[in-house]
Structure 1
Amino acid sequence: MWAYPVGFTVLPHVGGFLGWFVNRKEIPVWYEKLKKPSWCPSQKIFPVAWTVLYTGMGYASYLIWNDLGGYSSKAVVPLGLYGAQLALNWAWPPFFFGACNLKMALIDILCLDALAIGTVCSWYRINKVAALLLVPYLGWLAMATCLTIRILEGQPRAETREERIRAGQK
């Protein structure tokens, strides 16, 4: 039946699209003003990269679900790890773009990294192809984590409200 592979493959795209849709106005306004390292990918690469990555992730999750016979007790940990990392993946754009909170985005992506690695490790014993389909995602997450750190480090230190008051500003 084709509905299961298609459904699993489309699912990651749903959250990714919603994250983009909700935060799309902040990208040209806020993100473009940030100081970014020279190796920061062009904005044109992100939609292409995420389409490929989400497709691979989604299909890989179908392979795991299928190999474990659906939602069984054996599937709780491997699909639970996948679901948790996917939720953190979807949470990153609202932290970064929506709330403009670079520290929360960094905490999110560090937790996401750990869960994504855990997902790959748990999947490798079940289906090596599914685990290997997540390797490009791990590479992209490594780059995104480094980029988040560099962007956070590159911004001028934001003064607190109390520091502005002490300096005689409002």
Structure 2
Amino acid sequence: MWTHTVGFTVLPHVGGFLGWFINRKETPGWYEKLKKPSWCPPRKLFPVAWTVLYTGMGYASYLVWNDLGGWSSKAVVPLGLYGAQLALNWAWPPLFFGAHNLKMALIDILFLDGLVIGTMCSWYRVNKIATLLMVPYLGWLAMATCLTIRIWKDNPEQRPGKSE
């Protein structure tokens, strides 16, 4: 049924949009003041990249769900891992942009990396196309992880009792 295809494909965009909407006012001010490496992608590229990546991962999740016969017991681990990584993906913007907590954002994205790899491994035997649709996401996530590490290292957070 096409409604399932659309629903699964749109789902990742929901959290992505909410994260953007909630944190949109923080990006121009706080984020622009952070020290970032020369290889940081331009800010305008992020919404385009995430639109493509969320669409690919959403459709991939539909393929896995469909191949496993819907919400069957066989789908618990593959779709559970997917759901967990999606939750961590959605948690990153509020941690980074909203709370300005670079350390927690870094911890989040490191766990996210592991969950995406676990998701892809669990999907490989179910649907290789779905797994391949996750490769660009994993690549972008690797860059985002390196960027988060660099920003965290280059922008020490103020700690109580320490003056700068």
Question: TM-score, normalized by length of structure 2?
Answer: 0.98
Distance 1:44 1:159, change over 3 A: closer
C-alpha displacement of 1:163? 2.8
- Letter matched to residue 95 of structure 2: F
Aligned twin of 1:76: 76
Q: Following the alignment from structure 1 to structure 2, what is the Cα–Cα distance between the partners of residues 161 and 83?
A: 36
Give the greater-gyration-radius structure (CA). Answer: 1
Matches of residues 11-30 of structure 1 in structure 2 within 5 Å?
11-30=11-30
Unaligned runs of at least 5 residues, structure 1: none
Q: Following the alignment from structure 2 to structure 1, what is the Cα–Cα distance between the partners of residues 57 and 141?
A: 13
Q: Following the alignment from structure 1 to structure 2, what is the Cα–Cα distance between the partners of residues 158 and 38?
A: 21
Matches of residues 5-154 of structure 1 in structure 2 within 5 Å?
5-154=5-154
C-alpha displacement of 1:162? 2.0
Runs ≥4 residues deviating over 6 A: none
Q: Following the alignment from structure 1 to structure 2, what is the Cα–Cα distance between the partners of residues 21 and 73?
A: 35
Question: TM-score, normalized by length of structure 1?
Answer: 0.94
What number of residue pairs does the alignment pair up? 164
RMSD: 1.1
Unaligned runs of at least 5 residues, structure 2: none
C-alpha displacement of 1:160? 2.6
Q: Following the alignment from structure 1 to structure 2, what is the Cα–Cα distance between the partners of residues 97 and 29?
A: 10
Aligned twin of 1:163: 162
Overall identity of the aligned pairs, in % = 79
Q: Following the alignment from structure 1 to structure 2, what is the Cα–Cα distance between the partners of residues 158 and 103?
A: 9
Distance 1:159 1:19, change over 3 A: closer
Q: Following the alignment from structure 1 to structure 2, what is the Cα–Cα distance between the partners of residues 46 and 53?
A: 10
Aligned twin of 2:2: 2
- Letter matched to residue 55 of structure 2: T
Q: Following the alignment from structure 1 to structure 2, what is the Cα–Cα distance between the partners of residues 13 and 159?
A: 33
